[in-house]
A and B are shown apart, each in its own frame.
With several copies, the nearest count.
Chain A
Amino acid sequence: MHRFSREQIAARVARDIPAGAYVNLGIGQPTMVANHLPPGREIFLHSENGILGMGPAPPKGQEDPDLINAGKQPVTLLTGGAYFHHADSFAMMRGGHLDYCVLGAFQVSVRGDLANWHTGGKDAIPAVGGAMDLAIGAKNVYVMMDHLTKSGESKIVLNCTYPLTGLACVNRVYTDLAVIEVSTQGLVVLDVVDGLPFAELARLTGTPLTDGTAGRAAG
């Protein structure tokens, strides 16, 4: 089966973010989106530890321990960027000022419920960080994840079985098989990977899906 590579998914998300957008890219896979933003398109990256106008990683040897992203990796500041404290930073998110958050996930439900912070394992030590703030922290919350678990179960589900991060907060899901919009009419498939019939995608997903690919070019 054909799959979108992680780079392809990141590129597809990047393509969907317009110039002038204020964007928070979550830890892990979403960070890759930054590498695919077209150089000419001004997009403002927010890092919840207190940066707006975050730039790429610095050249080796020029890392600054005081200039890191939410994943605690060294970054830079673009010309025009600004620093602020944690309460102001999360106020930006909670107050709905970000246009996009891009997050990883364990599961997304048909209503847009998000589970991405905790496997629920009895032994697992919980850690939430900014996950729940990010889940409600933008006008558009996009998820990037594999469509299926390693054992082949769909991560798009009727009801999340993992502990929730946020309710009805996800607007769109980008997977290695498809791009799916969470709408008031349920899940609408915007794109499918080349060669995967819609019926097969629906079978693998196991939730009701509407085919919204008509007239659209695959990504």
Chain B
Amino acid sequence: MIDKFVSSVAAAVADIGDGATVMIGGFGTSGIPSELIDALIEQGAKELTVVNNNAGNGDVGLAALLKARRVRKIICSFPRQIDSHVFDALFRAGDIELELVPQGNLAERIRAAGAGIGAFFTPTAYGTLLAEGKETRLIDGRHHVLEYPIHADFALIKADRADRWGNLVYRKAARNFGPIMASAARCTIVQVREAVPLGALDPEAIVTPGIFVQRVVPIVGVAALAMPQAVA
């Protein structure tokens, strides 16, 4: 019987090696696989390349991973935030490499990796600093930039419910990068609020079919995140 449930976050991330490329889902307060990130910090892998929309907030989660100096390079769209002081300091000191990617190109490059697309022409960022040195082409009257897929060794994502085949559904805007990161990684590790029996998820409403998922860890007894005060 196929059972993708893993009993602990520690077991789930045990084989992430030094130098691995790790995608981490989440956007703002939604969809962050906090317990998996903490387990990765605990586990100790270093020289990582991390793919995330941001570069860490405050001193927890991804910021803590950065602070522990485990990340060689980050690929993201929006590193600079009001509370990105950990990243800011590392970047200013030249201690972390940054590949800045427009958010939609980031999403599409991740999707392309999962879909086996070798490269694609996108109009986003044409003529800007972020397209410097990249191949361009005029197609049907519109300028485009050639972008390549972003593959990962591991993806750490958060979903709402999963069954033992690894089928996933998400909750509201916490879906964000989850489905595409799951498709782009060799090994996708998911933390979920609830493990459900096979058949409990509507086949019409499964967002990530189990083919994209290798390991699922139910995080039991965690209360919903408190909503932080909105910042200006």
Within 8 Å by CB, do A and B touch in the complex?
yes
A→B interface (CB under 8 Å) = 19-20, 22, 42, 44, 46-53, 63-68, 72-74, 77, 79-87, 89-98, 118, 123-133, 136-137, 163-167
The interface on chain B, measured as residues whose beta carbon lies within 8 A of the other chain's beta carbons, has a size of 77
B139 interfacial by beta-carbon distance below 8 Å: no
- Decide yes or no: A128 and B176 within 8 Å by CB, A91-B183, A92-B211 being known contacts: no
Kindly list 17 other residue pairs between chains A and B, CB separation below 8 angstroms, not including A52-B211, A132-B130: A53-B165, A64-B172, A66-B29, A68-B173, A74-B230, A81-B203, A82-B206, A87-B110, A94-B108, A94-B122, A98-B211, A118-B129, A125-B92, A127-B80, A128-B130, A130-B77, A136-B124
Task: Kindly list chain A residues whose C-beta atoms are within 8 Å of the C-beta of B125.
Answer: 132
Mind listing 26 A-B residue pairs with CB under 8 Å?
Answer: A47-B173, A48-B103, A52-B211, A64-B172, A65-B226, A65-B227, A66-B171, A67-B30, A79-B199, A83-B173, A85-B180, A86-B27, A86-B176, A90-B103, A92-B209, A94-B104, A94-B122, A97-B211, A124-B80, A126-B79, A126-B80, A127-B81, A128-B100, A129-B103, A130-B103, A131-B102
| Residue B225 interfacial (CB < 8 Å) | yes
Contact among B84, B177, B230 with A86 in the assembled complex (CB-CB below 8 Å): B177
Contact partner of B173 among A49, A129, A164, CB < 8 A? Answer: A49
**Which residues of A sit under 8 angstroms from B30, Cβ to Cβ?**
49, 65-68
A90 touches B104 (CB 8 A): yes
CA distance A52 to B175 in the complex (A): 13
Complex alpha-carbon distance, A86 and B58, angstroms: 24
The residue among B175, B179, B183, B207 with the most chain A CB atoms within 10 A of its own CB is B175
Q: Are A82 and B167 in contact (CB under 8 A)?
A: yes
Give the nearest-CB partner of B163 in chain A.
A80
Candidates B175, B198, B207; contact of A79 at CB < 8 Å: B198
Q: Which residues of B contact A79 (CB under 8 A)?
A: 198-199
Contacting residues, chain B, for A123 (C-beta < 8 A): 92
A-B pairs with the 4 shortest C-beta distances?
A: A94-B116, A90-B104, A133-B104, A72-B28
A4 → chain B closest CB, angstroms: 22
Task: Among B108, B123, B201, find the residue whose CB has the most chain A CB atoms closer than 10 A.
Answer: B123
**Cα–Cα, bound, A164→B199 (Å):** 41
Given the known interface contacts A72-B29, A165-B128, the answer about A130 and B165 at a Cβ–Cβ threshold of 8 Å is no
Report the minimal beta-carbon distance from B26 to chain A, rounded to whole angstroms: 10
Bound CA–CA A125/B101 (angstroms): 13
Candidates A86, A95, A96; contact of B107 at CB < 8 Å: A86
A205 to B176, CA, bound (A): 41
Q: Please indicate the chain B residues that have their CB under 8 angstroms from the CB of A127 in the complex.
A: 77-81, 100
CB distance from A198 to the nearest CB of B (A): 32
Give the residues in chain A near B78, CB-CB below 8 Å.
Answer: 127-129
Question: Nearest Cβ distance between residue B96 and chain A, in whole angstroms?
Answer: 11
Q: CB distance A133 to B103 under 8 Å? A: yes
Q: A129 vs B108: C-alpha distance in the bound complex, in angstroms?
A: 14
Q: Are A136 and B123 in contact (CB under 8 A)?
A: yes
Q: Is B56 an interface residue (CB 8 A)?
A: no
Contact flags (1/0) for B112-150 with A, using CB distance below 8 Å? 011111000011111111100000000000010000000
